[in-house]
Amino acid sequence: MAFAGVVLAFISVFLFVSLAVGILMIAAQWKLYKKAGEHGWAALIPFYSQYVLVKITWGNGWLFLLYLVPIGNFIFAIATNIKLARVFGKSGGYAAGLIFLSFIFLPMLAFGSAQYLGSDEKKSRGVIIATAVTGVAYILLIVILTVTGAVVGLSQYQKGESVYVDGDNGYDDRGGAEAVEDWEEEFYDHDGYDDYDEQQDFDDGVSPDDYEPMEGYDDFIKVPLTDGDSTVEVPVLRSEYLTVSDSSVVSLEDGIMTSLYMSYAYDDPSSVISELVDMQVDSMSDMPEYYANVTADELISGDGFALQQINYDSISYDGTSYPCFDILKCDVVDDDYVILMLTVDNSSATEDTKELLHDACEVYGIDFEFD
């Protein structure tokens, strides 16, 4: 409590002294302007006060605009204080006092016996040029830094647009999901799946052999999902890392993860995907120790679907950065949604990853550009 009282007393004294000094400076300016034959009340008006000060020192009040020049205004302010001392018959030492201890020397100048001798226009041109050149140089520096930052940012963004994997365990470059098609009718079985009651509530340890293989794609099986009222069979990667529940399924193989879940159609597919992408981008951006260069491609939509791609670098425990991406897609199936996240993790890529991704894009109706 005693310490808080001391702090409060210090703040109160500081505010009181600051207010007193402020009033003293305004009064000094008022007196100074009257000595120079100007209106004392000009000290109360922002900008006009500077105009009057420059008028009585430089002889041209409009030069006060140089106060607005960034960085260069320091040069102009020093020169103005030197001239202020001179027009009241004071030496360079007094000018130094005005520059560094104005709250002492300005009242002394105003309330003392010093008389106004008229404006001083000597050696003015060099100061004006120095002020202008310094300001322009500062602005150019800011422009250069801004452009450089933009170029670096663009290069980082472009880096996020290209995926590569060193060595022989992955594919070399990534194109992008630039167009999509509706899922082919054969990949959706929405007939009710009569035996679903016997298949539901699978645990993490389920085997891909428990499900029907997908014709034409050896690496995919068909898994039933339900929202409680209806059932849809969806294609998913055949993998020992398979997790199935009533409305979702996740599978991982060769650095590719297929995650699908079924829900009621509650909004426009574009809005659904846009919201999911925004949430994921925000979440990744908040974890710079795990993700970098997080960007999202343009949202693509059509009749009954929407799709968007997220690009990012995944940072491993040893600091190695692996370019990766997710493709999120929402398909309308009758009155339901099937939402897909197709993830490519280059840190786990193998020689089979590119071919597996190619098949996955065909299965899920994604026109992916392979370079």
Specify the pLDDT at position 368. Answer: 79
What gap in Å lies between CA 86 and CA 117, rounded to an integer? 8
- Would you report the helix, strand and coil content of the chain in percent, each value rounded to 5? 45, 25, 30
* Residue 363, pLDDT score: 86
Grouping H, G, I as helix, E, B as strand and the rest as coil, residue 113 is coil
Q: Is the pLDDT of residue 198 over 70?
A: no
In the predicted model, what is the mean pLDDT of residues 275-285?
87
Which stretches within the chain are classed as H helix?
2-35, 48-58, 72-87, 92-100, 102-111, 124-160, 196-199, 269-285, 353-363
Residue 204 clears pLDDT 80, i.e. is over it:
no
**Read out DSSP for 51-96?**
HHHHHHHHS-GGGGGGGGSTTHHHHHHHHHHHHHHHHTT--HHHHH
Percent pLDDT > 70 in the chain is: 82
Poorest-pLDDT segment among 28-42, 102-116, 120-134: 120-134
Q: In sequence order, which residues have a C-beta less than 8 Å from that of residue 224 and are 6 or more positions away?
A: 193, 196, 199, 200, 231, 232, 233, 234
Q: What single-letter amino acid sits at 232? A: V
The reported pLDDT for the residue numbered 217 is 87
pLDDT at 94 over 50: yes
- pLDDT given at position 48: 92
pLDDT at 295 over 60: yes
Spatial distance between the Cα atoms of 237 and 251, rounded to a whole number of angstroms = 6
pLDDT, the chain, mean: 79
Q: Mean pLDDT, to the nearest integer, of 192-208?
A: 48
pLDDT score, position 186: 44
Amino acid in position 34 = K
pTM for the predicted model, two decimal places? 0.48
Contact 338, 195 (CB under 8 A): no
In sequence order, the 6+-apart residues with CB closer than 8 A to the CB of 55 are 38, 61, 119
> Which pLDDT score, from 0 to 100, does residue 326 have?
93
310 — pLDDT class (breaks 50, 70, 90): very high
State how far the Cα of 297 lies from the Cα of 124, in Å rounded to an integer: 57
* Cα–Cα distance measured from residue 335 to residue 116, given in angstroms and rounded to the nearest whole number: 89
For residue 176, pLDDT over 80 is answered with no
* Residue closest to 220 by CA, chosen among 232, 196, 237, 207: 237
Average pLDDT over residues 257-268: 81
* CA distance linking residue 131 with residue 78, whole number of Å: 11
pLDDT tens profile 343-368: 988 888 888 888 889 888 888 888 87
Task: Provide, rounded to the nearest whole percent, the portion of the chain with pLDDT above 90.
Answer: 9
**248, β-bridge pairs:** 261
Residue 95, Cβ neighbours under 10 Å: how many? 20
pLDDT in tens, 46-79: 899 989 998 998 888 888 888 888 888 888 888 8
Inter-axis angle of helices 92-100 and 72-87, nearest 10? 130
Of the spans 26-40, 120-134, 229-243, 262-276, which averages the highest pLDDT?
A: 26-40
Determine the pLDDT at residue 262. Answer: 82
Distance CA 324, CA 113 (A): 78
pLDDT of residue 1: 57
pLDDT digits (tens, 9 = 90+) for 121-164: 665 677 777 788 888 888 888 888 888 877 666 554 444 333 33
**Contact status, residue 342 vs residue 366, Cβ threshold 8 Å:** yes
Q: How far, in Å, CA of 47 to CA of 52, rounded?
A: 9
Report the b/e string of 151-181 with b at 16+ CB within 10 A: eeeeeeeebbbebebeeebbbeebebbeebe
Cβ neighbours for 21, distance < 8 A, ≥ 6 positions apart: 103
- Which pLDDT does position 327 carry in this prediction? 93
